[in-house]
Structure 1
Amino acid sequence: MTPVGMKFTVLQASADTLGKSLDLHWELLPGCNMKDPLVHAHPDAIETYEVLEGDMEFYIHDRWIAAREGDQLSVPKGVTHCFRNPTDKMVRVLNTHQPALKMENYFEDVCKVLDKLTDQRRNRFRMNLRTMLYMSVLMNNYRAEIIAKNPPDGAIKALGWVAKLLGIRY
């Protein structure tokens, strides 16, 4: 799975762990998520990270935390978080969601939406009204797995409703 700026590889799918976890390997390109990281929470899952290579930053609860190779972080259920790669080097991360819920489907759908919205000639993704409408439909389809905090959940709900009225699907 390859959205703009990152690559996700499933190491252990939900089916492999009987739903207990989803284990992913990430590669984050330099500058990934620097402009508009999705600040979010997982209402019913714990998310863990292990930085395998490079340096990056995690926003957990209300502050940014620097992390480097070998660091491990855990985000409890319901805690607001996001991540970014502020460096000029690739970062590799082991990421786990426990339980898996439908996060594997969420990541697959994120890739579909971002592929649809990315300017393939320039390999550039732009946040605009069209993007927000598509992402709102996506986020509303996975409310048990992930809830946006910034942009606010109320805005995601409202935009998702407008998008459905307009017939937007991914």
Structure 2
Amino acid sequence: MDGVIVPPGQGRKLITKAQEVTFKVMGANGSSTSCFEVIVPPGFDVGAHTHSRSEEFFYVLDGELEVLAFEPTDRSGERWQDWESPRGDRAVRAGAGSCMFVPPGCPHGFANPTDRPTRMLFQSTPAPDHERYFDELCEIFSAGGTVDPEAVQRLRDRYDVNQITPLRYGPAPLQPSRR
């Protein structure tokens, strides 16, 4: 089997009002890891969640994200940005060059609290779970009108996404993190 070379701007694109995802390397390429370039719009908040099987890796290419990857002392409330770990860890602002690794079972989230899109590289193992998830999520977001939150939750239930705080895909203002 040959390797895969994907030039800048190339790959299979999914564009919704919530995100732009470009598939770079997929399970169909023989990879055990899916690799995507993701444009995260201002105000998007994936919400804190866990996966029992998936490992994820995020690398900020351009812009900033607010990120979290730890078990908090208390999972209550709708804002994961206010959580704190037993060691005192809190959500951080991650700029270009920052990365986050998330093992299975670890609560994590990311949000774009800025007024500009953020571009990140996202990898998920095993392939093709997140590929299928993004395909179906794109269908939900592209259905027109308002997004059906129950349809999103059913999708997340099928793809091992245990949602802890709400997914926000509108331009709702986010509070800056404490560094």
- TM above 0.5, yes or no, is yes
Q: Does 1:135 align with 2:148?
A: no
Matches of 1:69 and 1:10, distance apart in 2: 20
Q: Deviations over 1:40-98 (max 9, x none)?
A: 11211210011001111112223312100011111111111111111111211000002
In the TM superposition, structure 1's runs of 4+ consecutive aligned residues that sit over 3 Å from their partners are none
Q: How does 1:11-160 map to 2 (within 5 A)?
A: 11-18=24-31, 20-33=32-45, 37-61=46-70, 62=72, 63-116=90-143, 118-119=144-145, 125=146, 131-143=148-160, 146-150=161-165
Higher helix share: 1
Query: Which runs of 5 or more structure 2 residues have no equivalent in the other structure?
Result: 1-13, 73-89, 167-179
Structure 1 position 38, deviation (Å): 2.8
Using the alignment, how far apart are the partners of 1:137 and 1:64 within structure 2?
Answer: 27
> CA-to-partner distance for each residue in 1:115-169, whole Å, 9 max, x for gaps?
12x43xxxxx56xxxx2321232123223xx222235xxxxxxxxxxxxxxxxxx
Which has the higher mean CA deviation after the structures are superposed, 80-89 or 133-142? Answer: 133-142
- Cα distance, 1:101 vs. partner? 4.3
Q: Secondary structure at the match of 1:100?
A: coil
Q: Distance in 2 between matches of 1:101 and 1:147?
A: 18
Structure 1: distance between partners of 2:28 and 2:162? 23
Query: Is the CA contact (8 Å cut-off) linking 2:24 and 2:36 kept in structure 1?
Result: yes
Give yes or no for contact 2:50–2:162 (8 Å, CA) kept in 1: yes
Instruction: Quote the Cα distance in structure 1 between the aligned partners of 2:154 and 2:125.
Output: 24
User: Which segments of 5 or more consecutive residues in structure 1 lack a partner in the other structure?
Assistant: 120-124, 152-170
Larger strand percent: 1
Conserved? CA contact 2:26–2:128, under 8 Å: no
RMSD value, Cα: 1.8
CA distance in 2, matches of 1:109, 1:76: 24
**Equivalent pairs: percent with the same residue?**
25
